[in-house]
Each structure stands twice: as C-alpha cells, then as structure tokens.
Structure 1
C-alpha cells in the first residue's frame, strides 16, 4: 500500500475554487486601484471612478474574504489595493489644518436648480436662514429668476450677474455686496454648446476682493461627452496664489477621484468639504428611487489662503443636487 501526503481530490478542488473565488473578487478591486492611482479616467472609466469611495469600502470586504479563506496571494494583492484606495479616500473624512486668516467671514452657497425646477421658496429660505453673503446657481432659468425675486432674493442679495436661460445652460451669481468686473464664461460642451458660468469680483467689506465664479463644466453623461467634459474642466480658471483671491463654486460634474479636478486643485485651490472632513458627503443622488448611490460632484474650491470654518450639505426640494454652504474666513487685505 502506497501512502501519500497529497490531499484527496475533493479537498484540492475546494482549495482551487476558493482561490479562484478570491481572485474573482480581488482582481477588479486591484484594477480599480491601478486606474485611480494612475489617473486613467478615460472613456467609460470617467463615470465609474465617481464611485471610488464605495469601491474603497468594498475592498475591505475582499481583503477579509481572502484572509478568512487563507488565500495568501490574493490577500496580499487585496491588502495593497485596500491601502491604496483608502489612502486616497479616507482623508476626505478628516478635517485638515487651516491657514491663519483674520479677515472677514464670507458665507457662500452654491446650488444646481435642475433646469429651474428647484423649489424657489426653499432656496430663498436657505439664504435667509443661513445669512448667505454670496450665492452661485447653475441650470438657472428666467422663470427661476422671476420666482426668486418675487420671494425676496433681490432684497437679500441685491447685487448680481445673471445669465438666465431656458433649459440647463443658465448661470447666476448673487451677492450681498457690490460686484465688479462681471462676465459670463461659455463652456465648449459638445459641438460648441455648453453650460455658462457667471463670474464677478465681490467687494467684501473690510476684506480683500474675491473673484467668484459659478462653475458648471460639461457632464460626462455619455462617451461622446467625455472630451468636452475634460476640455471644460481643464479650461476652468486656475488659482492665482500670488494674486487675487478666487473661489469656484458649483456643479463640477467631477469628484476628487477625477484627474482634471485634482489638477485644478493643484493650481492653488482647496476643496472646502474635503478640508473640513465633509468630502465624502454625496451632493448628487439621484434621489428619486434610482439605485445609483450619491456622489460628490458639487464643490466649493477656495484659494489656499482662505480658511474654511464649516461646510454644510443642505436639502433643496425639486433638485437632484444638494446645495453646499461654506463658511470661510478671508485673509486680511
């Protein structure tokens, strides 16, 4: 009788199946980590990368499965992917040190009005209750403008640069304080059609002037829109660390996992929600029962010399976006 140390065939098959199962779940997570770290947001990967925080959370489960099944090579790969993904995502839940800024406080609210269908009374109430100083709006229509003024926004924020249009291209900038050097930026969009961006320099009492723009680059809603999305994001005005203060606030149609937005931040901006530990709070649903989980595509980008005190993500009935309210302190003039 010959005695062998080899496990019986059923045991070997179970081991093989366990190894295969681990690679099946670990492989996509590892590939996602490579794509995210390498900045390979191209084609269909652009939309997918918006959900990186969810993949980062799931990567912990894939690591746990590999360890539980004692599949050590998959576990090693899963560990690397988990560390990489959590390393880029987790800091958004942690507040960062702020620069010393002893100038006046500015409260800025940005809201996408979903082609003007957002509840105008709710928006005006947000402005009133939170004592908003500057408001930027996207998808701003003539009907929305009329409704907001009828409800008293013209008295709360009397200074404005507006470009109300039917549908989604419109943009607006409202302020409690005077605005100078105003204008409208036209994004390229697909086939030369794109969203617009109202801008102007706000004269903050007791503080330095601040250039504020209502940002709204194209959305990567289909593969043929990705090039326009990238072009519009690349064309956003960079920060001017040695010049005037700038704030870009609006619907960027991009998360912090998209390379073009990170490149814009590197010019000298800080994402206000990220700086205050609110960077993982979703701002776009949809909130109508669809299974798509929320993602963070609405941002307030502030000059690095501005200290962010607080960020709140607020509800706005009638819109599929949630407004972002940022309270910040400006440097002294």
Structure 2
C-alpha cells in the first residue's frame, strides 16, 4: 500500500514538473519574442525546433539589375540605326563618300523616322548602352537636317531692279507646254530650262520672241539640250563642259553685268557618282572663277543642300540658296511622278548680290520636276 502511494506521488510530481517546464519554456519564448519585436526583429523556427531572429534586410544593398529582354528588338534597333548613323556621320564630315551615301543623303530628313523607332525599340530592351547609342544617332540625324546657311555678306545697297526667275526641268521636253503656260502667267525676266530638246527650244524661242528675245542654249535631244531665256541682252556666252547642256552668259540688268549660269549635272545614280561629283566640281570652278559682282546660278543640280558637292558650290561662289534666304528650305521639287509625293529639293536658284522677296514651286504636268519661281531684287553697291 505504501509502495503504491509512493509511486502515485512520484508520478504526480513528475507531471507537475513537466508542466512547469513547459510553462517556463512558453514564458521564455513569449518574452524572447517580445524582446525581438521591440528591436524590429522576427523569430522564425529552425530545423532543430528552436527559434531565432531573422536577419535584417540591408537598406544599402543595390537591387539586382534589370535583365535585358526582347533580343530580336535589340537586333532590329541596331539595324534601324545603321543607315541614319552612316548618313549623319557623312553629313557631319562634309563628304558625299560613295554609293549608297549620295543617294541616301537625299532622304536625310526622313531618316529621323527609323532613328526614332530604333530608340523606342532600344528602350524596350532595357539595354542601356544600346539606348544611349540610339539617342546619339537620333540627335545627330536631327541636327543634320537643320537647313544649311553659309556665312555670306548680305547686300544692303538700294534695289536697282526687280527680277523674276523660273527654273524648270521639262523631262525630255514633255513639260514644254506646261512651262509655256507658267511663263505667260508669271512673266519672268529669266528662264532656265533643262532637258529642253530641239522641239522644246524651237517652241520657247518662237512663243516668247518678244518677251524673252535673248537666249543662250545647248542643242541636243532628250536630256542633253538646255536653254536660258532672257529679257535682258546676253553676251559672253560660255558653256560648262558636261554630259548635259549647261550654258551661261552675262546679262545686262539695269546697267549692271550679272553672270547667269544654268546647271544640269548627271544624277548620282550607282555607277556614275564619280561623274556626278566631277560635273558639280566644274560648276564650282566656274563660279569661283567668275568676276566679282552679282550672279545667278539656277537649274536642276541633281543635289540637295545635304550634299557636300552642292555646299561646295555655295562656298566657292559666295552664293546663297534663294529658298533658304526666303525661309522656304526643303521645298520638294522631285519626283512628281510615281506613288510617292516629292520628297527632295534638287532644283535651286542661287544668288549673289540679290535680295530675295519670295520663293515658291509650280507643278509642271508632263515633267517629273516642279518648277521653282524666285522673286529677287538686284542690289547696288553699299
């Protein structure tokens, strides 16, 4: 009986001890949790059944970099940037280089579109270097499209005479009738006509025998023929040697000798870029060798202001593009035939010692060019 009581007493004591131990552990755990909570820590269980504080997050740690994505977009952005980057670089270096650069320079303002699309694609890929390069390419392309204006002395003398000029390419003579209508309507004093074949020449000389009785011409069929019609007497005829006719002369305007020159070099199509450069170089040499004084150079230059060979002519003769002076840069004159509207100005009127009152273009049905009309004032000495 005593043994049974003793065993029961021992079991009861052991149970109480176990309960106390569990209660003590629970109390300790509660106190530890409260202590860690006061320090901003959390408790998490570990594999051995014990709990410990979780490590604090380091606020100075750098977040992981964004992972590049869309690899095909990155390739597309690079391809879209290639042409604008090449053309903008050649424009900045003042060179026409070789095919396909001269042809692509005619599209320079439009190359901001693929450059802008390349930037959007580069940004989507999250590639920082590619995005930075695309920003540079877009900026360079946009800078290159700013209208060119050479430094020149603007004449301030009194106006001596008002002169209206028309320059037109009549495309193998097909636009002769349209040009004749424009001349009747506009009543210019000087008309520069490219691709004027023998029939075109005969029609214009006969039709305007009274209004424009003086002329200098190069006879030829197809694109070779050209004629310069004038209401002023012409002397000192000179022709710039070229595949297509480029006649010139000296006009007497209000008693002042004015050198007038028609230009029509070969176009820069693949395979004849060297010839195009050579013929524009001859125009440059001719205007550089001309005597000081007023000058008019007009025609189909087959070059835009973005071509280095064209800008070299301006610099050599101290000339300025009348359209630029009239704040009408990039008046598109070609091509008027085909699915696309005209997108480049290759027909120009260049002036020296003239002020410009206005420049506009006229459609010429039958021709793939628009005509350029410039209203000018011949200025006397300052």
Q: Identify the range of structure 1 (310-319 vs 47-56) with the bigger mean alpha-carbon deviation.
A: 47-56
| 2:299–2:347 Cα contact (<8 Å) kept | yes
1:22, CA displacement in angstroms?
3.0
Which 5+ residue runs of structure 2 have no aligned equivalent? 1-62
Name the residue aligned to 2:162.
105
Within the alignment, does 1:26 sit opposite 2:81 as a pair? yes
Within the alignment, does 1:116 sit opposite 2:182 as a pair? no
**Structure of greater Rg:** 2
1:71, CA displacement in angstroms?
4.2
| 1:41–1:259 Cα contact (<8 Å) kept | no
Which 5+ residue runs of structure 1 have no aligned equivalent? 188-193
Counterparts in 2 of 1:147-296, with a 5 A limit? 147-150=203-206, 152-187=207-242, 194-205=243-254, 208-223=256-271, 225-236=272-283, 237-239=286-288, 243-267=292-316, 268-285=318-335, 287-291=336-340, 294-296=343-345
Per-residue deviation, residues 144-190 of structure 1 (Å, max 9, x unmatched): 1222245x322221111122311111111111111111233321xxx
Name the CA distance, whole Å, in 2 between partners of 1:210 and 1:6. Answer: 72
| 1:161–1:200 Cα contact (<8 Å) kept | yes
1:219, CA displacement in angstroms?
1.4
1:313 corresponds, among 350, 357, 361, to: 361
Per-residue deviation, residues 230-263 of structure 1 (Å, max 9, x unmatched): 1100111225797122211001111111111111
Distance change in 2, residues 1:317/1:244 (3 Å): same
1:282, CA displacement in angstroms?
1.4
Name the CA distance, whole Å, in 1 between partners of 2:84 and 2:375. Answer: 37
| 2:85–2:141 Cα contact (<8 Å) kept | no
1:217, CA displacement in angstroms?
1.1
| 2:81–2:114 Cα contact (<8 Å) kept | no
| 1:210–1:246 Cα contact (<8 Å) kept | yes
Q: Identify the range of structure 1 (305-314 vs 24-33) with the bigger mean alpha-carbon deviation.
A: 24-33
Report the 3-state secondary structure (helix = DSSP H, G, I; strand = E; otherwise coil) of the residue aligned with 1:274.
Answer: helix
Name the CA distance, whole Å, in 1 between partners of 2:135 and 2:81. Answer: 9
1:76 corresponds, among 132, 147, 161, to: 132
In the superposition, the TM-score normalised over structure 1's length comes to 0.84
Within the alignment, does 1:299 sit opposite 2:348 as a pair? yes
Name the CA distance, whole Å, in 2 between partners of 1:59 and 1:20. Answer: 14
Distance change in 2, residues 1:148/1:322 (3 Å): same
| 1:30–1:77 Cα contact (<8 Å) kept | no
Name the CA distance, whole Å, in 1 between partners of 2:156 and 2:134. Answer: 41
1:26, CA displacement in angstroms?
2.7
Q: Which runs of 4+ in 1 moved over 6 A?
A: none
Report the 3-state secondary structure (helix = DSSP H, G, I; strand = E; otherwise coil) of the residue aligned with 2:360.
Answer: strand
In the superposition, the TM-score normalised over structure 2's length comes to 0.74
Name the CA distance, whole Å, in 1 between partners of 2:135 and 2:291. Answer: 42
| CA-based RMSD | 2.9
